[in-house]
Structure formats: C-alpha cells, structure tokens
Structure 1
C-alpha cells in the first residue's frame, strides 16, 4: 500500500510517501520520497526541496496560490529526477495531520464532507493551522480525485483527559462554549510513548511516562495506562512551556494591563504572544536554541550596547526553570514515574537542556550517563544505576500518520 502523508503548517508543507505491505513493520521504514515547501525564507517565494534515493531537487516557486504550489510538489512524485511512482493512481490513501479536532474526534478518521465541515468550524480554535490543513485536503481532491483521505488530529491523544485537568477554573459557561484544555503534539506524544514501551519491553498500559516534546513548539504530556491524563498546552498551543517565539503561560492580568495602559488590540497581543515572545523575545537573538547558546558562549555585547550574552543566558534560564517546573507538575499528576522521554529538535539534540531538566530529579534517583551520546538511533541516556530510565526518542509523526491510514484501510 502506497501512503502519502501531508503535514501542513502555517508556513510550511512537509510530505512523504511510504510503502507498506500486508504486515506493519516493527520499525518505521524510510519513506520512498520526502518533500518540503517553505514559505518563510523569502517574500513571495515558496522554496521546494525533494529527496529520494535516486536524486534531489530544489526549486523556487511563486508563493501563491497555495494549491498550485502543492500541485507542483506532488508532481515530483511521478515526474522528473525524483519520480518514485508511475502515475498518481498508485497513491492508495492520503493521511493529513490536522491540528485541532476539538471535542469531536478522539481517534483518526476517514475524511468525509462532514469531517471537512467540522475541521472548518474548528478553524476558530486554530485559525493558523486548520485552514492550511483543509487546503491540503482540498488540493488532494483536485489532484488525486476520490482517493481515500484520513485526518490524524493533534488533539486526539489528549481528548480523554480527566475533566479536572481539561476544564479551566473560569465561568462554568466556558464548558458549553468549548473552552477547555485540548492539548497538542498528540501524534508525537503517542508515538514516543509506544516506542518507549517497546524499547523497555513493557506493556504501555502498565507504564507512567512523561514525554517532553521540545522544539520551536514545546509541550509535555503525563501518560498513564497508555492515555494522556495531563499536558501543558491548552485551549491553544500558546499555553504552558516557554517556546521559540511563544510566551507560554503568563498572568492574564498582564494582557488586561497592556490593553488598558498601552492600547494593545487583540491582534497586537496575538502577534506579541505567538511571534515575538519566548526565546526570541527574551534573548533578542533568535527563536533557535542553538543560536541562543552560541550567543551565551560568545560573551559579546551587540552594537546597540545591550548585553547580548546576558539576555541569551536569561532566556535559557527562564526556559529551563519553566521546563523543570512543568515536569514537576506532570510528575504530581502521575503519582509516580517509569520513564522520562525527550523528543523534538531540542529534546533530541541538546544534552545541556536534558541534563539541566533532569538535575532536580536526583532526589528521585535519576542519573544521566555522563558520556550520553545520541545519534540517529533512539537511545537510553540514563546511567545503569538510575532509578528511572531516561530516553531520547526520535519522533516519527509522519510514520504514525501513515500507520493510522494503513490500519483504517485494513479495517
């Protein structure tokens, strides 16, 4: 079965093609074809990159309309140097990452007109992402006709959280309005939890896990008996941890103050909290953890006279403080811990962040291997005598989407 995965974001489109036989492989296979469109680097330009075993292609395209850019991306599947199939009809199912499924969807589902309408309605809760996800679905309809399509929701893994964790302590009327903690990165948390259980040769339903998805967006999940019982992101992906450009949790009165005293509008607050805060807002350097650490190491002031290295160090310190605090919160929700898991760009690659996050857990007997090294393979990074194992898992969201497609079509 040839499965196309479409992972659309607000400013990028990642895609890949898997081929799966009659049995699911125990390990995620390499995709036959991988492609990415990036709209962020150049104004009015969409940068296309495609990789297969047989070749690579890079191109710059007019940034819009989006459907035409996606059409060009998909054409590289069956034409040119990156061709891996003879024609579009070889694609048997398409899986889409959809950010917000609200309270409507607890599992992945075959896309119908009713599902599309619900995704559209939920765009009010995810105005940046759900419309882009819907555009991808409609582009596939235009290009591949009535090929089966499957929606895999970021929120689904958290949909059965206890009410005490999911409901905000505001007006009870909020519940009727759908205002609650939904949580995100669910596909990543779900994959990492199952992969950790497999590596530990344990049944996931027996384990208590904390999974730390740390990238430009960051979230934690407390997973018990294979289910998310608590998470740091909330009604939107803005809640919880400090992130690349997002503030994470702040006192709501700050926003009221800025509206009353500074004349901030809702749009200005949205821009500030989602695009100008986090690592970027505090450091003034970058939303990328690597650049922040380089600024700390340089120790130089920038031309304006501000203390570049001080601001970068402050950004890192706040990031680590909030990470440790939220890990503590997840630990209390679980009432125990069988493994701590790191994933995402920062979680997989920054030994400093992992070590700093685990340092306060020494009272629980957590010890990291001083010689911890992480390659492309998933790795146990705790010491042999650590009371709780610590893992680095390379998240495989695209493979999880492909697997859900395979299972739905088999069923």
Structure 2
C-alpha cells in the first residue's frame, strides 16, 4: 500500500508515491503547462530514466492527474497501483490551520475560501483534492499546509501596522510559506548536529525560484521572511521581494501601469530576472558572474546581500546567535557562490566557512561547510514530499 502525494500548482501537477517510512519515492511524475496546447509531462520509477507522458491538449488539473497516474500504471511494477492515503501540499491555510488536517467537505470549503489570500494556488489545490476524490473514492486525504508551521509566530511579529479593523475583516497579516520545508530541514539539521530540536536556535534559508528564511526556536517557527503572500521578503527568481509599499502608486502615475500589470511585474518579471535582464536560473547567472557580466554580478550581489540582511534580522526573534544556519532548496543546496557571498556579509556571526567543504556542499562532512568554534553552517537537502507523506501517514495510521 502506497501514500500518494499531490502538489497542484497554478499550471502544474506533481506526484510522488511513497512506501511507509521510506524517504525516497517509489515513483514521481510531473505535468507542466496545464490547460494549454503545450501541456507536457513525464514520470520516473525510482532512480530510473524519465519517461514521457501522454497528455491531452488543454487538459485541466484533473486530466493532468489522470494522465500521470495512467503513465505510472503502465509500468509493470505499478500496474496494480493501490493507494492507502493521499496527501496534498496546500499553499495557504490562513489562520485556521496550524497542523495537517483530514480532508472533509468543511476543510475543502475552507481551502476554497482562502482564494483571496492565495489566488494563484488555492483553487488548483482544491481541484487536486476533488480530482483525487473521484479517482480514489473512500481513500482518506490529508491537507498539509505550507503556512501551518508559522502559526506559532507571535502577534508582534505577524501583525502589520495597519488599522486593526482591516486585520479583523480580511485577515491581513504575515503568514509565511515554505513551512513544510523549513520544519523538515530544521529537525534534520538538529539530528545531524546532535542538537536537541526542542532546545536550540536555528535559521533556515530555503532558496530556490521562491526564497524564504525562517527562525526556528526550540522546534517552533518564531519569525519568517514571507508575509501575507509569497511576494514579501527576499529577492527571488522572478519576484522582487520587499519594495517600498508606495511603488504601486508611483508606477501607476509615472509609467501608466495598472494594478494587475504592476503585480505581474513584481511577481514574474523582477528578482534575479529583472536585475540581470538575463535569467532567473542561478546556474546561468553564476556562469555570467564568473565571466565578468556586470548585470549578472549585480543580481547575485543584491540577492546575497538582501539574504544576509534578513538572516541577521531573524536573530532578534531567536534572542541570540543561531546554533546553526541551514541552506536548502535548489540554490541553497547547489550554489557555493551564494553560500560563500552570503556568509561573507555575516562576519559578526563569526562563521568560519571552509572553502573546500563549501565547494562540495559538505559531501564528506554530513553537510557541514564551516569549521572552528563559531556557529555551524550546514547544507541540508529538503524533502517536502516525504514530509507531507510522513504527516499524511500520521493521520492515517493503517
């Protein structure tokens, strides 16, 4: 019996199948460009080669999920695919959900009602649940919320300085995201370092196309960089991160842009892409950086400085210096340039970066890339799908 993990994005569907208590998936699948004529997908059994999926043109999320499952079932090892539980990555849980929840009609309705807070993700997340209900009737489903880990943050940290009635009426506050990843890597880092997870100070930097940083004190999130939406905080692949709140008004008046155009610009045309004018891919920018491209250098330098400034600020919520700083996500796990530049800005922390360890992401030192008596810098690969599978199994113990 297998646990199926579903991650429905705005234009994609990702699947992973797990056996109980196994951290590596039995199989994975992904369908991209959902509801377009360019829809495409692939699947993979274990660590084998990727195989193309047959996807219907303009297929919706349900059709994409069906195509992915059909591809997996075409493999002899999964021909008689039996799923005991389904776990869903749900981006926004609002203020209601501080832990994973068994899906029922009320929970599904709550997820749909959060669409104003997560317009890009809430409806696709709900569609994934509805599609799984049709495909696996009677199989229990669990919603695992990206925001849940951050529900431990105190009001003085999550409240914005806006009129109170706006908070009460519209739930306008800082929520934070990537919670599943931050929780997983923080606990894993504590395990690797021999720390008591319930009695330590950690900072986690999840760096990918989306980026966020979180302060974890005694096993709980106490501050994080993202806010009401995933746009707040760090510079990201295509997202600006923090900007002057009056920028919208300025661009509307001076550039004649609409609110929708400005929002799209800050979400899809800014960040590393906007600064460099080249790409949101850090691998491309790293090559250009070393080749002397000034725009690429500016983009990487801004990215790392802003990251370091955010990491330093998170120590306020920790009440002191961290025992460890964790790098994770595609950039955090693979870019020795970003790790090195970021730590160079944090001289007050007394990190002692080992250049050779950094080059290999601590391959021979359990992820540790620092040395000496200062705080530890460590690279911990994230495994959000396994974390969701683990949470799902906890609510479906059979």
Superposition TM-score tier, normalisation by shorter sequence = over 0.9
5+ unaligned residues in a row in structure 2: which ranges? none
**Is the partner of 1:145 in helix, strand or coil?**
coil
Q: Match of 1:363?
A: 348
- 1:62-73 matches, within 5 Å, as 62-73=57-68
Q: 1:320: how far off?
A: 1.2
**Is the partner of 1:68 in helix, strand or coil?**
helix
CA distance in 2, matches of 1:379, 1:271: 37
Q: 1:68: how far off?
A: 1.3
Deviations 1:20-42 (A, max 9, x none): 1xxx4xxx5321111111218x9
8 Å contact kept, 2:326–2:379: yes
Deviations 1:337-377 (A, max 9, x none): 11100000000000111111111333332111121112779
**Is the partner of 2:39 in helix, strand or coil?**
strand
The answer on 1:134 being equivalent to 2:121 is no
The answer on 1:217 being equivalent to 2:210 is yes
Q: Match of 1:379?
A: 367
**Is the partner of 1:403 in helix, strand or coil?**
helix
**Is the partner of 1:132 in helix, strand or coil?**
helix
Q: 1:174: how far off?
A: 2.3
Q: 1:17: how far off?
A: 0.6
CA distance in 1, matches of 2:79, 2:333: 37
CA distance in 2, matches of 1:406, 1:189: 19
TM superposition score normalised by structure 2: 0.94
- 1:5-404 matches, within 5 Å, as 5-20=5-20, 24=21, 29-39=23-33, 44-53=37-46, 56-59=50-53, 61=55, 62-78=57-73, 80=74, 82-88=75-81, 90-176=82-168, 177-299=170-292, 309-336=293-320, 337-372=322-357, 373-374=360-361, 379-383=367-371, 385-404=372-391
CA distance in 1, matches of 2:301, 2:50: 40
Q: 1:83: how far off?
A: 4.2
8 Å contact kept, 2:53–2:67: no
Q: 1:63: how far off?
A: 3.5
Q: 1:159: how far off?
A: 1.0
CA distance in 1, matches of 2:38, 2:54: 6
8 Å contact kept, 1:285–1:295: no
CA distance in 1, matches of 2:93, 2:184: 18
Q: 1:283: how far off?
A: 0.6
Q: 1:165: how far off?
A: 0.6
Pair 66,409 (structure 1): closer, same or farther in 2 beyond 3 Å: closer
**Is the partner of 1:92 in helix, strand or coil?**
strand
5+ unaligned residues in a row in structure 1: which ranges? 300-308
**Is the partner of 2:144 in helix, strand or coil?**
strand
CA distance in 2, matches of 1:232, 1:70: 32
CA distance in 1, matches of 2:309, 2:152: 24
Deviations 1:210-243 (A, max 9, x none): 0000000000000101111100000000000000
Point out the more displaced range, 206-215 or 369-378.
369-378
8 Å contact kept, 1:46–1:60: no
Pair 375,199 (structure 1): closer, same or farther in 2 beyond 3 Å: closer
Deviations 1:115-169 (A, max 9, x none): 0100000011111111111111111111111211000000000012000110001
8 Å contact kept, 1:63–1:69: no
CA distance in 2, matches of 1:297, 1:371: 18
CA distance in 2, matches of 1:70, 1:12: 10
Pair 267,278 (structure 1): closer, same or farther in 2 beyond 3 Å: same
**Is the partner of 2:114 in helix, strand or coil?**
helix
CA distance in 1, matches of 2:159, 2:270: 26
TM superposition score normalised by structure 1: 0.91
Q: 1:400: how far off?
A: 0.3
CA distance in 2, matches of 1:140, 1:200: 39
**Is the partner of 1:95 in helix, strand or coil?**
strand
Q: Match of 1:304?
A: none
Kindly tell me the number of residue pairs found equivalent between the two proteins.
391
Pair 391,191 (structure 1): closer, same or farther in 2 beyond 3 Å: same
Q: 1:261: how far off?
A: 2.8
CA distance in 1, matches of 2:273, 2:76: 39
Pair 110,83 (structure 1): closer, same or farther in 2 beyond 3 Å: farther
CA distance in 2, matches of 1:218, 1:11: 20
Point out the more displaced range, 397-406 or 133-142.
133-142
8 Å contact kept, 1:174–1:180: no
